[in-house]
Amino acid sequence: MKYTQLGRTGLKVSRLVLGTMNFGPQTDEADSHTIMDAALDAGINFFDTANVYGWGENKGRTEEIIGSWFAKGGGRRDKVVLATKVYGNMGTDGTPVWPNHDKLSAVNIRRAVDASLKRLGTDHIDVYQFHHIDRATPFDEIWQAIDVLVQQGKILYAASSNFPGYKIAQANEAAARRGSLGLVSEQCLYNLFERRAEMEVIPAAQEYGLGVIPWSPLHGGLLGGVIRKEGEGSRRASGRSAETLADPAVRTRLQSYEDLLDKHGLEPGEAALAWLLTRPGVTGPIVGPRTLAQLESALRAVELELSPELLTGLDDIFPGPGPSPEAFAW
């Protein structure tokens, strides 16, 4: 496994991030433990989760599965850089448990971190991420709450997820005024198919020293060889991916993508991950395996070297928007 610094911090993290969103809803506890053991054995030390994972009536279940894995001992907790998230509504019927039991008020941050620590069975969270912007809560209040948690030893770093560029700037300018470290990473939607983050989110992250952690690196499976798999009868796209794939123009682009990678003898999913590892500012993409085989495929991506010819071909099929303001102005 290869490692890098998380943004401007001294924290060393693996170039792949183990996403755990499937643990519980898709993958049972025993298999989840097997995947985490395999990830750790392969050198992946950065594990990502969220308080809401488990979904529906089972919100929090994913954190509990990670907690039961930590409880097995063997230095598991000490070897892992643990990241979880706060913001989500933890109620099970579509409404908050109580009016202040979601988003980023100081009240909810304090309550949510204690609840996550209990489910995770640990005394601290390494990277505590804001899952979404909270338009109603000023950053001075958010940083006051975070500073207290850092002083208490409950969290070490704060980070963002799904923040636009201007909110990254606002957050870290507010932190600087307080003498606080501020955000150290941004977790955003970024892949070959969806490159809008290149306009402002990634430049803002680089300017303020945040590591970039792409989620959905295969764009819901569309970049994982979906057309070939349909032809083989091994898998069909569903949900949003199926709706996107129904567009003839999208199918044409994806066919060109799969043909290009077939020419170079590469698996589409592995190449899509390897492409992200070449992108400026990227710490490592989140891989969310449902099975051990999917994890093994993701691990191979770290060792792939993409040729300049292939990178040019990928840009031709999936051109990025370019930097702002040139992307939308002269």
Among 212, 214, 219, 213, CA closest to 194:
219
CB atoms within 10 A of CB 42: 17
Cβ atoms of 268 and 258 closer than 8 Å: yes
Eight-state DSSP code of residue 291:
S
Distance CA 36, CA 322 (A): 37
pTM: 0.96
CATH architecture for the domain at 3-221+268-306: Alpha-Beta Barrel (3.20)
Among 121, 41, 129, CA closest to 84:
129
Q: Hey, what are 205's tokens?
A: 């992250």
**Residue pLDDT tens, the chain, 330 long:** 999 999 999 999 999 999 999 999 999 999 999 999 999 999 999 999 999 999 999 999 999 999 999 999 999 999 999 999 999 999 887 677 888 999 999 999 999 999 999 999 999 999 999 999 999 999 999 999 999 999 999 999 999 999 999 999 999 999 999 999 999 999 999 999 999 999 999 999 999 999 999 999 999 999 999 999 988 877 677 777 888 898 999 999 999 999 999 999 999 999 999 999 999 999 999 999 999 999 999 999 999 999 999 999 999 999 999 999 999 999
Virtual torsion, Cα 196, 134, 144, 19, nearest 10 deg? -60
Do you find a cis peptide bond into 164, omega within 30 degrees of 0?
Answer: no
CB atoms within 10 A of CB 67: 18
Q: Hey, what are 299's tokens?
A: 């691990």
Distance CA 143, CA 137 (A): 11
Cβ atoms of 17 and 286 closer than 8 Å: yes
Distance CA 160, CA 98 (A): 24
Distance CA 95, CA 164 (A): 26
First-residue to last-residue Cα distance in the chain: 43
Q: Hey, what are 293's tokens?
A: 């085989």
Rg over alpha carbons for the chain, rounded to the nearest Å, is 20
Among 119, 109, 113, CA closest to 143:
109
CA quadruple 180, 184, 186, 187: dihedral positive or negative? negative
Catalytic annotation, residues: 53
